[in-house]
Structure 1
């Protein structure tokens, strides 16, 4: 559990350190609203089976702000810190994978990805709507930015994913 979290955090941190030129206006950041139908997850893989698109998701608990500080202090009291360093905290106590079909009409909202083919030009555009096929292709290409490093909010209705929102990581 902690190894996956540490590996994911390290990968994201290293990615952003090596891509230090990527800019984000965090003043415009708005947290994704929580709802009983929305699950935060790392996407393990995206694939088609019998003509249906599926996502294998590893559900996590995503905390921000004071809620993140509280959870962090409860779970890591010996860290020497009084709050989370980047304003968020991830808990992944269960590495079970959940297989979910994706609606062909699923809405996809991205924060950051390689839009131009030149990763040096990557910037954050809040909740930019992209085509589901574009998302699948971005996820398949990890040469510049690995989309697996980001958590996603998966909105599920009637057992199918109807909305995918990439979580911004400061």
Structure 2
């Protein structure tokens, strides 16, 4: 009786393994076929905004790595062990890594969504305040980005959503 079990068990295991491989590859193929769009999420420091001759906008940015929470603490401890031992973890719950200051150019969709946390509303430093997740137009963003006297927006990191090579969303990350 024990001799017959391996003869039955091996074909069952082979069939199970093959069905898992077939199912996994089918799921991936179906998902790709259904959504031809490629979406990428990046965190960057914006160095400039440039209007092209055709009126389209190009964003010039330095991509960075953004970490939060326990992952920020782990990366901080790996990269700066002495500081981590002294203060215990990443300051303010986030950690930014920028190993390359290479600038990249990204085209911006004319209807890109822009979400801000803080910017100059009045021209007076005393009025500067956080307005969480405030939606503004792309035109307003380009105007505000050009202003640097009260609050320089290039000092904030931004989370970008890029679909098929074009920025469709810009979200300012508040950093204390």
- TM-score of the superposed pair, with normalisation by structure 1: 0.76
Shift of 1:124: 1.0
Match of 1:123 in 2: 129
- TM-score of the superposed pair, with normalisation by structure 2: 0.74
1:63 alignment partner, one of 38, 49, 67: 67
Alignment of 1:99-138 (within 5 A): 99-138=105-144
Match of 1:48 in 2: 51
1:161 aligns with 2:167: yes
1:85 alignment partner, one of 70, 88, 91: 91
User: Distance between the aligned counterparts of 1:131 and 1:99, measured in 2?
Assistant: 20
- Structure 2: give runs of 5+ residues left out of the alignment: 1-38
Larger radius of gyration: 2
Pairwise CA RMSD: 1.1
SS of equivalent to 2:88: coil
Give the number of equivalent residue pairs. Answer: 135
User: Distance between the aligned counterparts of 2:127 and 2:150, measured in 1?
Assistant: 12
SS of equivalent to 2:121: coil
User: Distance between the aligned counterparts of 2:61 and 2:96, measured in 1?
Assistant: 15
Q: C-alpha deviations, 1:106-128, integer Å up to 9, x for none?
A: 00000001112222112111110
Q: C-alpha deviations, 1:82-121, integer Å up to 9, x for none?
A: 2112111100011111100110100000000111222211
Which structure shows the bigger proportion of residues in helix conformation? 2
Give the ranges of 4+ consecutive aligned residues of structure 1 lying more than 4 Å apart after TM superposition.
none
